[in-house]
Amino acid sequence: MKIEIMAVGGYDEVGRNMTAVKIGEEVVLLDMGWNLEKVLMHFGQYDPRRHSLQDMIEVGAYPDYQYMGSWIDKVKAILISHAHLDHISAIPKLAGVFPNAEIIGTPFAMEVLKESLKQEPNPIPNKIFVMKAGSKKKVGKNFNVEFIHVTHSTPDSVMIALKTPAGTVLYTGDWKLDNQPILGKRTNMQKLKKLGEEGVKVLIADTVRIERESKTPSESMVREMLKDVLWGVQNQENAIFVTTFASHIARLKTIKDLGEKMGRKVIFLGRSMDMYINAANRAGIVDLTKGAEIYGRRKGIERALKQVMKHQSKYLVVITGHQGEPHSVLDRISRKELPFTFDEWDTLIFSSEIIPAPVNQANRAELERRLKPSKVRMFKDIHVSGHAAREDHRDLLKVVHPEHYIPFHGDIRKLASATNLAKDMGYQLGKSVHLLQNGQKIEIN
């Protein structure tokens, strides 16, 4: 038997990840994400009622499943590595193409998925199966699927091991090696080591941050960076706002803890804040609702901001909009569409970095231009990445020492950089390290 692997999406770009693995007459899909940049560029905003499957594929926002040809009818399962949009957001309209495939993911990812499915006009026929990190499940005749816990910038993230009659395929999803995570355990290196000892045929590894010649710092570093800003500047009488990734539950927890230590009431504002915090609560990750206020809808947001305007020093407000996204809370504050205005000496912390795409850079520049006249103090890049850097990748390759290495989740520069790293470690291009582009496939014996 042989392993066949097809790059469906995410091999020419950062986004719309989808990889197909075929053994005999059975196929499983690894992730089913969208490319948010393409969505923003072409539609401004995603409207589940207006944009069809075909629209999404045409603009390059969804993986083009038609590359799969005869594989389409053979799909047994859609395996999801974590809750980020570039790994799950094509499911609502694309999963129906594979009606017999069960969607399998961790509790948090599946809670987030269920929330996004509620916005869709047409339900999907697929069954959803919730599987915890550390668990196994048999799929079809040929796949034993195992979820391995990893640290990342959203909770409940896993690497996916496929044990098959033709050997083991390990798919990394997104990961970092965080030795002091704020939430949950460290990446399960013992398990990865064990897999390496048993033998891994193919490693399919993300490359988002592989060009960075370093080790990605721990999330606990951000706690120190935030403390430094929150407790080290003249802000006692003034409003404090933090904007960050709503899906980054560990970060939200840090901000809430620090806000409470300052004696301020923490308020989370924005639809996605509300959605992710509730998903984390239901998935048993952490309850951030205790002692905090959370408003996702316009009326609640307006009421809360009026209150903050009156008693600025009593609150720490966490909002959406760090990329300057249209209609986010920060975007609407900057356009004076909400009943709060920043003033001199107010604090605005961007606990994020700008995702390097032209549409984000433009949105963020515009946002800052609108905010500047208020003289609000901006603290940018109070952030560490959720993605492994080059030296983390080197360690993973050492521990897993796969026979074959396939980089994904990156443009050609990142994939080439990963190839060079593998070559450093004795792999040979075309023989044991393989560069695929969307639509290409490879057979491994």
In the bound state with Zn ion, the residue whose beta carbon lies nearer, of 146 and 174, is: 174
Cα separation of 366 and 334, whole Å? 10
Q: Cβ 17 to Zn ion, closest distance in Å?
A: 9
Cα separation of 79 and 103, whole Å? 6
Q: Which residues bind Zn ion (CB under 5 A)?
A: 84, 174
Q: Cβ 280 to Zn ion, closest distance in Å?
A: 15
In the bound state with Zn ion, the residue whose beta carbon lies nearer, of 112 and 338, is: 112
In the bound state with Zn ion, the residue whose beta carbon lies nearer, of 107 and 259, is: 107
Q: Cβ 13 to Zn ion, closest distance in Å?
A: 14
In the bound state with Zn ion, the residue whose beta carbon lies nearer, of 222 and 292, is: 222
In the bound state with Zn ion, the residue whose beta carbon lies nearer, of 247 and 312, is: 247
- Three-class secondary structure assignment of 234-286: CCCCCCEEEEECCCCHHHHHHHHHHHHHCCCEEEEECHHHHHHHHHHHHCCCC
Give the total residue count for the chain.
445
Q: Cβ 84 to Zn ion, closest distance in Å?
A: 4
- The angle formed by the CA atoms of residues 332, 249 and 119, to the nearest 5 degrees, is 60
In the bound state with Zn ion, the residue whose beta carbon lies nearer, of 81 and 126, is: 81
Q: Which runs of consecutive H residues, i.e. helices, occur in 290-426? A: 298-310, 329-334, 358-371, 390-400, 412-424
Q: Cβ 85 to Zn ion, closest distance in Å?
A: 9
How many other C-beta atoms are found inside a 10 Å radius of the C-beta of residue 213?
A: 9
Q: Cβ 10 to Zn ion, closest distance in Å?
A: 11
Contact 203, 407 (CB under 8 A): no
Q: Cβ 238 to Zn ion, closest distance in Å?
A: 34
Q: List the one residue out of 102, 79, 97, 99 whose CA is nearest residue 33.
A: 79
In the bound state with Zn ion, the residue whose beta carbon lies nearer, of 14 and 286, is: 14
Q: Which residue has the tokens 């999803």?
A: 173
In the bound state with Zn ion, the residue whose beta carbon lies nearer, of 14 and 192, is: 14
Q: List the one residue out of 162, 205, 155, 144 whose CA is nearest residue 181.
A: 155
In the bound state with Zn ion, the residue whose beta carbon lies nearer, of 22 and 393, is: 393
Contact 253, 182 (CB under 8 A): yes
Q: Cβ 16 to Zn ion, closest distance in Å?
A: 13
Q: Cβ 409 to Zn ion, closest distance in Å?
A: 9
Token pair for 340 = 């709060």
Cα separation of 189 and 424, whole Å? 22
Contact 42, 54 (CB under 8 A): no
Q: List the one residue out of 245, 254, 246, 247 whose CA is nearest residue 220.
A: 254
